[in-house]
Amino acid sequence: MKMTFRWYGEDDPVTLEKLRQIPGATGVVSAIYDVPVGQAWPRERIAALKKTIEDAGLEFEVVESVPVHEDIKLGRGKRDEYIANYQENIRRLGEVGVKCICYNFMPVFDWTRTDLAHVLPDGSNALIYDPEQVKKMNPLSGELSLPGWDASYKKEDLQELFDAYSHVDEEKLWENFAYFIKAIVPVAEKAGIRMAIHPDDPPWPIFGLPRIITCEAALDRVLSIVDSPSNGLTLCVGSLGCADKNDIVKLAKKYAGMDRVPFVHARNVLKTPGGFQEAAHYAAKGSLDMPGLIKALYDCGFTGYIRPDHGRMIWGETGKPGYGLYDRALGSQYLLGLWDAVAAMEGK
Ligand code: DNO
């Protein structure tokens, strides 16, 4: 298991120097953030990113994300052009030694929350999803903005996209997904890269848009479309685990056991009726069986990448919601501690 941390580039208030001091941190997960979705990333930008990370003593083997253009998800006329650019990105990232690319297939919006700084009883704050608040949100206002969302959409673009998605139901989205991964997995295989799809977060439809990567049956379907180690999963236990239907330990055993999990996002959630609050990684603070998760990965001989996902903001830290330094650092030590404890019990 390789412990990594997401790093948002030079503008990230959490510097590489700080990440490097976290015991066990071997690398960072990053991306080129300012190239519009659908375009190829310039080789010199990729090389510069790699150099910055390696000069700080860390590895750059995981990219999160190479975003998928909406025309690919919608199956529109220009999708082949965008797929060709996507393939080119895979080749370019493979050239510099990237081993894993995380991506998602969520229509229009990435992860969704209703409050980015919900104050918890201990005075820290965390991201939450409250279904009652979601009902009051207007996705077409052009005023909603969350850290994972493409900020380039204007009001008109959103209306146009929603209209286009009114003709795309779940089956159509699956068809478009299959078209996409059949085109990219062979390129990833040649480039020595494992694609790792991120589940939908949360794993249910939002704002009337379809969401398909939500449960075990969906993950089975993803893997069966192209049966290759380069067609893999990002096991994001917080995304999957906030729905009762998903047992994260079972999913970890199954898919890591098949060696189809190149990347794990580890975070804990406290389930609430129809929603959740993000919680500290420590199992007692949330609903997820984190020791069971790590044991399942250990038992499967997991050698892939893991990163602590969304932390709370603690000790007065401010910054990118979910991506402060302190709580993610604490989380990583808990995860590594669990791993070492399992190893010790196995006598290794
Ligand atoms: C949230 C992240 C997601 C993830 C994308 C992958 O913190 O886990 O935004 O990066 O969904 O494409």
Nearest protein Cα to ligand 1, atom 6: 103
Ligand 1 centroid from CA 65, angstroms:
7
Tell me, what's the pLDDT at 176?
98
Ligand 1 centroid from CA 200, angstroms:
9
Using the atom order of ligand 1, give the atom closest to the CA of residue 198: 6
According to DSSP, the β-strands at 275-279 and 268-272 are antiparallel
* Residue 255 falls in the annotated catalytic set: no
**Most informative mutation of 8, 100, 104 for ligand 1 (most atoms within 8 A of CB):** 104
One digit per residue, the tens of pLDDT, for the chain of length 348 reads 999 999 999 999 999 999 999 999 999 999 999 999 999 999 999 999 999 999 999 999 999 999 999 999 999 999 999 999 999 999 999 999 999 999 999 999 888 899 999 999 999 999 999 999 989 888 888 777 777 777 777 888 889 999 999 999 999 999 999 999 999 999 999 999 999 999 999 999 989 999 999 999 999 999 999 999 999 999 999 999 999 999 999 999 999 999 999 999 999 999 999 999 999 999 999 999 999 999 999 999 999 999 999 999 999 999 999 999 999 999 999 999 999 999 999 876
Tell me, what's the pLDDT at 140?
84
Residue closest to 342 by CA, chosen among 293, 283, 304, 269: 293
| 246-261: burial string, b at 16+ Cβ within 10 Å, e else | bbbbebbbbbbeeebb
CB neighbours of residue 9 within 10 Å: 15
Tell me, what's the pLDDT at 137?
87
Copy the structure tokens of residue 153: 């959409």
Tell me, what's the pLDDT at 146?
74
* Residue 309 falls in the annotated catalytic set: yes
Using the atom order of ligand 1, give the atom closest to the CA of residue 65: 12
* Residue 323 falls in the annotated catalytic set: yes
Tell me, what's the pLDDT at 118?
95
Residue 313 CA to residue 319 CA, distance in Å, equals 8
Task: Give percent helix, percent strand, percent coil of the chain, each to the nearest 5.
Answer: 40, 20, 40
Catalytic residue among 236, 326, 327, 334: 236
**CA distance from start to end of the chain:** 15
Ligand 1 centroid from CA 188, angstroms:
20
The secondary element (H helix, E strand) that includes residue 92 is: helix 79-95
Ligand 1 centroid from CA 148, angstroms:
6
Tell me, what's the pLDDT at 155?
82
Nearest protein Cα to ligand 1, atom 9: 148
Using the atom order of ligand 1, give the atom closest to the CA of residue 104: 12
Catalytic residue among 130, 198, 255, 300: 198
Q: 3-class DSSP state for residue 223?
A: helix
Using the atom order of ligand 1, give the atom closest to the CA of residue 148: 9
Residue 2 CA to residue 314 CA, distance in Å, equals 25
Query: At residue 278, what is the residue type?
Result: E
Using the atom order of ligand 1, give the atom closest to the CA of residue 310: 7
User: What is the pTM for the complete model shown?
Assistant: 0.97
What are the pocket residues of ligand 1 if the criterion is a CB atom closer than 6 Å to any ligand atom?
64-65, 102-104, 110-111, 148, 198, 236, 265, 310, 322
Ligand 1 centroid from CA 234, angstroms:
10
Using the atom order of ligand 1, give the atom closest to the CA of residue 64: 10
CB neighbours of residue 92 within 10 Å: 18
Chain centre to alpha carbon of residue 308: 11
* Residue 334 falls in the annotated catalytic set: no
User: Cα angle vertex 313, ends 35, 111, to 5°?
Assistant: 45
Ligand 1 centroid from CA 111, angstroms:
7
The secondary element (H helix, E strand) that includes residue 156 is: helix 155-165
Catalytic residue among 71, 100, 102, 265: 265
**Most informative mutation of 108, 198, 200 for ligand 1 (most atoms within 8 A of CB):** 198
